Every structure is written in C-alpha cells, then in structure tokens.
Amino acid sequence: MTVLSEAGSAPTHGGRRAIRRSPYPGWFFLPAALIYGVLFLAPTFASLYFSLTRWTLFNSTFIGLDNFAQFFREPFLVQGLVNTVLYAAITSGLKVVLGMLLALLLTSAIMGRGYLRSVVFFPVLVSTVGVGITFTVLMHPTQGMINETLALFGIKGPGWLVDPRLALFSVALVDVWKGVGLATVIYIAGIVAIPKDYYEAARIDGATRWQNFLYVTLPLSRPATATVIILSFIGGLRTFDLIWAMTRGGPGFASDTIASVIYKQYQAGFYGLSTAGNVVLFVLIGILVVPLTMFLNRKQGHE
C-alpha cells in the first residue's frame, strides 16, 4: 500500500522511477487491523457459517436454516425478538424526549446548572450491574422503596420486575435513568452550537419562546436528534447487562431480549443456535438502523 505512482514518463531515464516512501505508512494500520480483523471481523464472518450448524465447538454439523426456523417458531424466542425491538424503541424514544427537555432546561439560565448537569450525567459512568442491582432492590414489590413511597400516598405499587407484563418496561425505565445523561449532553452540545444570530433574528421577527423552540432549536438540533436516536437505538437492540443483572430475562421469558437469549443458549451449550441469535441481531440492526440512519440523514440534508 504505497503511494499510487505511475511508471515514470521521463523517457531519457527509462524504466520505473523509484517509489519514495509515503510519510503516512500503511503499516501504521497493521496492529489495529490485526487485532480488529482476528478478534472482531473473523468471528463475525465465521458466525454466518456456524449459525447454519449444530455446533459443539469441536465439530459442527451443517443443518441449513434449522436454527433460524427455530428462532421464529419457538414462542419464547419470538418473544425475545419482539422484546428487543420494543425495548430499543422505548428507550431511544424516551431518551430523545427527556434528553431534549433536560438539555433545554440545562442550557437556559437556570439556578444550579452545573450541579444539575453533573447529577444527570453521573449515572452514565456507573457500573451497569451495580445500577441493575440497586434498582432491583428499589423496585422490590413489597419492601422496595418505590412501592413503599407510593404506599404513603395510598397507591398500591405494581410488581415492577415480577409482573410479566411490566418487567421489560421497568428495565427499560432504568436504562433511561442511566442513559439519559448522555442524550442530554449530546443535545446540549447541539443546542450550544446553534449560532445566537438565529435567535436574535427570530426575536426581531417577534417569535415567542415556543416559536423559538419550534422553528429554531428543534430543526437546528436535528443532527443531535439523529445521533441520540441512532446511538440509543443500537444500544437498546444490543442491551444485555442491565437485563441480565435485573431479571435474567424473567419472569419466565417476559423480559428476554436477543442478547439474553444468545447468552442462555450459549450456557445451555446450543452454540449453533446461540450464533444464529447473533446473526439475527446483526440482521435486525442492519434492517432497522441502516434505513433509520439514511432517513435521519436525508432529512438533515434538507436544511
């Protein structure tokens, strides 16, 4: 991978010119390419084959699309699929809305702004497992602080993590609690980057605060919105550690996602099926995120 240079066109000297070394040598790619190629790309490509096999790590039997058929036949696996998309949609939707609102609040002249920014952002840095365990305790149906507090007001709190209809949403809420700080920070960066001239022009045109938001802030922070949506949507589709720390996919299979199914099948020794789960997740991300990215970026191009 040296500089593209044609054969010399100086006929008097004939032959090829010596190629000088580029100041930006290709071998700088080598260490990263080696690690990335062997430990990320190679397994990703291998997964395409192994997902079509019954596999014990030592030998594999080709069984065609059986693993995938199973994925779409077994109700608990199908539920995992549905849950994954639901979880991603809920978390990214809430992060966009709350992140935007918090960012608006935290870019306005508000008392305690520095403190508020810190406090909203800090959970992003804390161990997911730790957060999961803490909220499992707080969401305990009878003894948990959340329901005890609700009881003070005479409200009978739900079984956050034990009610099969609620478990997934409860975990999603904790995910939002932990991740909204990042969304906020991205929005803050986006909003701060909007030139003040626009607001001044809008003010001269007599815009109200609401119109300011609607016609200046919202359209001009669209790149931030795209980022938040894509980032949290991908994160939501891939989510594993929080669900595993809080419900292990339970009760039953009520809060299973593809990532937790992958782990369960791996533990159970169904390596082919587990890998098929990986491929399903991979395809799911492909068919959801790529169009989403294109959609968000096209809208952006309109500005």
Partner 1 sequence: MKSRPSIFLGIIAILVSALVFLVPFAFIILTAFKNKQQATLLDFSWPDGFHLWSNIVEVVTTRNWMMVTAFINSTILTVASVTLLVVFAAMVGFVLARRKTRWNGLIEFLILAGLMIPPAVVPTIWLLQGIGLFGKLHGLVLIEVAYGLPFSIILYRAFIATIPRELDEAAIIDGARPFDVFFRIILPLLWPVTVTNIVVQSVGVFNDFTNPLYYLPGNANATVQLTLYNFQSQFNTSYNLLFTNILLITIPPLLVFLFFNRHIVAGMTAGAVKG
Partner 2 sequence: MAGLELKSLRKSYGEVEVIKGVDLSVTHGEFVVFVGPSGCGKSTLLRMIAGLEEITGGDLIIGDKRCNDVEPRDRGIAMVFQSYALYPHMSVYDNVGFGLKLARAPKEVRDQKVREAARILQMEHLLDRKPSQLSGGQRQRVAIGRAIVRQPEVFLFDEPLSNLDAALRVDMRMELSKLHHDLGATMIYVTHDQVEAMTLADKIVVLNAGVVQQVGSPIELYQRPANLFVAGFIGSPKMNFVELSVEEVGTDTVTVSGKDIGPTTVPADPTSLKPGDAVTLGIRPHDLTHQSSGNLVGEVSLVERLGNETNVSLRLPSGAAWLAVLDGDHELRIGQSLPLSFAPARAVIFNASGIALHRKHTGPQIPGSIAEA
- List interacting residues with partner 2 (CB under 8 A): 3, 5-6, 8-10, 12-13, 17-21
Q: Given the complex with partner 1, which of 117 and 167 has the nearer CB atom?
A: 117
Distance of closest approach, residue 75 Cβ to partner 1, in angstroms: 23
Shortest distance, position 15 Cβ to partner 1, whole Å: 25
Least separation in angstroms between residue 29's CB and partner 2 is: 21
Residues 6+ apart with CB under 8 A from 90: 169, 172, 176, 236
Could you say which of partner 1, partner 2, none residue 166 binds, taking C-beta under 5 to 8 angstroms by partner kind?
none
For partner 2, which is the closer residue by CB, 16 or 248? 16
- Of 9 and 267, the one with the shorter C-beta distance to partner 2 is 9
Minimum CB separation of residue 26 from partner 2 in Å reads 16
Say which residues have a Cβ less than 8 Å from residue 276's Cβ, sequence separation at least 6. 51, 52, 67, 68, 70, 71
| Smallest gap from residue 199 Cβ to partner 1 (A) | 8
Q: Name which of 20 and 302 has its Cβ closer to partner 2.
A: 20
Report the partner that residue 152 touches, choosing among partner 1, partner 2, none (CB closer than 5 to 8 A by kind). none
Compute CA distances 17 → 2, 9, 21, 102, whole Å: 13, 9, 12, 62
From partner 1, partner 2, none, interface partner of 18 (C-beta below 5 to 8 A by class): partner 2
d(CA 88, CA 97): 14
- Backbone phi and psi for residue 54, each to the nearest 5 degrees, phi listed first: -95, 125
For the record, the structure tokens of 192 come out as: 């701060």
17 binds, among partner 2, partner 1, none (CB under 5 to 8 A by kind): partner 2
Between 169 and 199, whose beta carbon lies closer to partner 1? 199
Show Cβ contacts of residue 247 under 8 Å, excluding neighbours closer than 6 positions. Answer: 161, 167, 171, 254, 255
Which residue is it, tokens 């071998």?
27
Per partner kind, with CB cut-offs from 5 to 8 A, the member of partner 2, partner 1, none near residue 8 is partner 2
Longest Cα separation, the chain = 98
